[in-house]
Structure 1
Amino acid sequence: MTIDGERKITITAIAREAGVSVPTVSRVVNGRSDVSPATRARIEELLHEHGYRRRTSRRRDRAGLIDLVFNDLDSPWAVEIIRGVEEVAHAAAVGTVVSAVHRRSTSTRQWLENLRTRASDGVILVLSTLQPTHQAELRRLNVPIVAVDPAGGPALEMPTVGATNWAGGLAATEHLISQGHRRIGFVAGPPRLLCSRARLDGHRAALEAAGIDSDPELVRPGDFYHESGFQAGRSLLDLPDPPSAIFAASDQMAFGVYEAVRQRGLRIPDDLSVIGFDDLPEARWSSPPLTTIRQPLAEMGTLAARTVLRLAKGEEVESPRVELATHLVVRDSTATPTPRPKRR
């Protein structure tokens, strides 16, 4: 039986001609992988032959959902991004599904399966890595995707929303130099992430502009979390000639440095100036309040949500990559260095 006489091309008609069930055709149409290659090829041939088009806009309109996906949810900046996305979603009467894949392949596969079932209007990714197989699966699902990259972004062709990390690194170090610091420690984020490298490059650019040599001994690795800041802070304070200031590439690592200073019986900023990056809500309530570089996390979430909803409506975006400005927020954790004798 052919479907040439059908007034409207339907999945039921395609299934009849292919000699398969309606659910099988539906799985092919929706990019599911649980169909044999031969059957998939036959169905796709018929879909092309008869000019079948998925009614994606209607499906997405009915879904009324945005998927927001993180590596982890145990970071305060994740809460800020969620706050920005929720503001837009609420105004648009769209729900938000928040997931964490915990950097595990099995978690990502489970999320992708759930995404197929939900048929969300769009996806906002806040991920540092994404396997090529998962990237291909997202493309097959044919849903709008926007990446938010305070901690990097997957290598997919998609709009991205970020911040001026290099300029922030430059501003933080220039602030310390303006106060008279010349020996400045730096606690870096993961080197695989673009934002980490940009903050370090900005730091080095400020040193170079001031005629200060960039000393590798003063750079310590971190992962944006408290413990790495604590360990890096201890290591820098144990140097024979410790720095008079430390620039931590995230507020959480700066708070780790705070604890290292406290355990040494030292005081901030009397014995050590500390500056962070993010301007998390707790930065203003720390003791002393933390000088930091404000990264507009909530605004990044807001822009990502607006962008993904525009894409879901079939609209174009002005630029594939947007960087929102960072700026220095001066509080009480930085001051002019107090001269001290070098350790023997």
Structure 2
Amino acid sequence: MLEEGRQRRRQARRRGDLPIATIAELAGVSPPTVSKVLNGRAGVGEQTRQRVEALLRDHGYRRPSPARTAHGLEVVFQQMLGSIAIEIMRGVAGVAALRDCTVGFTDVGPRASAGELWVEPLLLRQPAGVITVFPGVTARHREMLAASGVPLVAVDPIGDLFPTPAVGTNNWSGAVAATRHLLDLGHRRIGVLAGPARDLSARARLDGIRAALDHVGIPFDDGLLRHGEFTFEEGRDLGRELLTLPAAPTAVLCGDDLQAMGVYEAARQLGLRIPDDLSVVGFDDVEQAGWLAPGLTTVRQPFAEMGATAARLVLALAEGQALAQHRYELDTTLVPRGSTAAPRPR
């Protein structure tokens, strides 16, 4: 009989039904201290905070649903990068509106660069869930949110945050399609501006390029590879390096559209015409890609759909539902424009 009672209590705890007072008793602290940890407030020693967080995680603590439904979703960016951020927010807002849920956003760029914690002030707003579009998310951030019963979903993380659910795109197949496009046009000497080696999506795109070249028997030339950040300046400077090689590439595949725009500038400085002298392909399909002259051939990522998927997942987690998988990859699409053409003899 006693054993049955213990089993029932353990099952209740696994369901996250343990009250704060019981968590406090198990941790050897007062209920207000547990409340401070839950809401990310100061005034708690680090060891005590970790002990309380561990108990909250172990017992699957969740805030009562009535309190949760009164709050909205928080989308965390490191930088609000123009049309990408707008599209992601549009997708999140569309799903949230159907659930009568508000959406807020946080730009943690200044805090992150200063080494400050961004989770604590966010927890003060008691969100129903958090969506991060932020490469600096760590396991520690995840643990702090989990200890407060706040579910987290990451959009296109740069590293492995398993078991955090993540939404991304099939970067590998997008890179394969972009490479095949250039190969079909007749390009054989293809330069590559890859993203940072630490970035999962950049590595997947580089693997896709290698696979497409290997499929047609063209060896990958490491001399035509440069790694850089996803910025205009890196595209300009690294693009110039490639375009001034003794045997320069006839086309350049870029890690993102900002790098591709930098290659446009490098080509202009060197007196090269796009696509007559050089073909350029980007990745993302930001709004500005279609404004360039000529328009940029690129791989489209469905940012609004990524935001909507992340919102559906985090709301499901907030309601205590289990997810079927932890990684969701959406399809990419090649968008041919005027920046690519058959190579011409130089």
Q: Please, what TM-score do these two structures have when normalized by structure 2? A: 0.83
- 1:198 alignment counterpart: 204
For 1:38 and 1:213, how far apart are their aligned partners in 2? 54
Deviation at 1:225, TM superposition (A): 1.3
Deviation at 1:278, TM superposition (A): 0.8
Deviation at 1:142, TM superposition (A): 2.0
Q: Identify if the C-alpha distance between structure 1 residues 103 and 128 changes in structure 2 by more than 3 Å, giving closer, same or farther.
A: farther
Matches within 5 A, 1:12-23: 23=32
For 1:198 and 1:38, how far apart are their aligned partners in 2? 39
For 1:43 and 1:84, how far apart are their aligned partners in 2? 35
Deviations 1:88-111 (A, max 9, x none): 223322222211222855767442
- Residue 57 of structure 1 aligns with an amino acid whose one-letter code is S
- 1:57 alignment counterpart: 65
- 2:267 alignment counterpart: 261
1:310 counterpart = 2:319: no
Segments of structure 2 that go 5 or more residues without pairing to the other structure are: 1-17
SS at match of 1:286: coil
For 1:74 and 1:43, how far apart are their aligned partners in 2? 37
SS at match of 1:202: helix
For 1:223 and 1:252, how far apart are their aligned partners in 2? 10
- 1:339 alignment counterpart: 345
1:127 counterpart = 2:134: yes
Q: Identify if the C-alpha distance between structure 1 residues 138 and 287 changes in structure 2 by more than 3 Å, giving closer, same or farther.
A: same
For 1:89 and 1:75, how far apart are their aligned partners in 2? 21
For 1:193 and 1:77, how far apart are their aligned partners in 2? 18
Choose the corresponding residue for 2:286, options 280, 289, 300.
280
Deviation at 1:11, TM superposition (A): 6.5
SS at match of 1:35: coil
Q: Identify if the C-alpha distance between structure 1 residues 185 and 114 changes in structure 2 by more than 3 Å, giving closer, same or farther.
A: same
Mapped contact 2:214–2:220 kept (Cα < 8 A)? yes
Mapped contact 1:29–1:54 kept (Cα < 8 A)? no
- 2:44 alignment counterpart: 35
- 2:328 alignment counterpart: 322
Segments of structure 1 that go 5 or more residues without pairing to the other structure are: 1-8
SS at match of 1:118: coil
Mapped contact 1:129–1:154 kept (Cα < 8 A)? no
Mapped contact 1:277–1:293 kept (Cα < 8 A)? yes
For 1:316 and 1:124, how far apart are their aligned partners in 2? 17
For 1:38 and 1:260, how far apart are their aligned partners in 2? 53
For 1:324 and 1:42, how far apart are their aligned partners in 2? 38
Deviation at 1:41, TM superposition (A): 11
- 1:91 alignment counterpart: 98
Identity rate, percent: 50
- 2:161 alignment counterpart: 155
For 2:175 and 2:217, how far apart are their aligned partners in 1? 17
Deviations 1:215-253 (A, max 9, x none): 111111121111111111111111011100001110111
Deviations 1:129-162 (A, max 9, x none): 334433332221221111110x525524121111
For 1:206 and 1:319, how far apart are their aligned partners in 2? 28
- 1:243 alignment counterpart: 249
For 1:25 and 1:293, how far apart are their aligned partners in 2? 48
- Residue 335 of structure 1 aligns with an amino acid whose one-letter code is A
Q: Identify if the C-alpha distance between structure 1 residues 159 and 267 changes in structure 2 by more than 3 Å, giving closer, same or farther.
A: same
Mapped contact 1:128–1:154 kept (Cα < 8 A)? no
- Residue 188 of structure 1 aligns with an amino acid whose one-letter code is A
Q: Identify if the C-alpha distance between structure 1 residues 104 and 204 changes in structure 2 by more than 3 Å, giving closer, same or farther.
A: farther
- 1:6 alignment counterpart: none
Mapped contact 2:112–2:118 kept (Cα < 8 A)? no
Moved more, 318-327 or 184-193: 318-327
Larger Rg computed on CA atoms? 1
Q: Please, what TM-score do these two structures have when normalized by structure 1? A: 0.84
Q: Identify if the C-alpha distance between structure 1 residues 324 and 13 changes in structure 2 by more than 3 Å, giving closer, same or farther.
A: closer
Deviation at 1:75, TM superposition (A): 5.0
Deviation at 1:183, TM superposition (A): 0.3
Mapped contact 2:40–2:124 kept (Cα < 8 A)? no
- 1:216 alignment counterpart: 222
Choose the corresponding residue for 1:80, options 87, 97, 107.
87
For 1:38 and 1:252, how far apart are their aligned partners in 2? 44
Deviation at 1:78, TM superposition (A): 2.4
- Residue 32 of structure 2 aligns with an amino acid whose one-letter code is P
Choose the corresponding residue for 2:35, options 4, 26, 29.
26
**For the aligned residues, what is the CA RMSD?**
3.2
Deviation at 1:21, TM superposition (A): 7.0
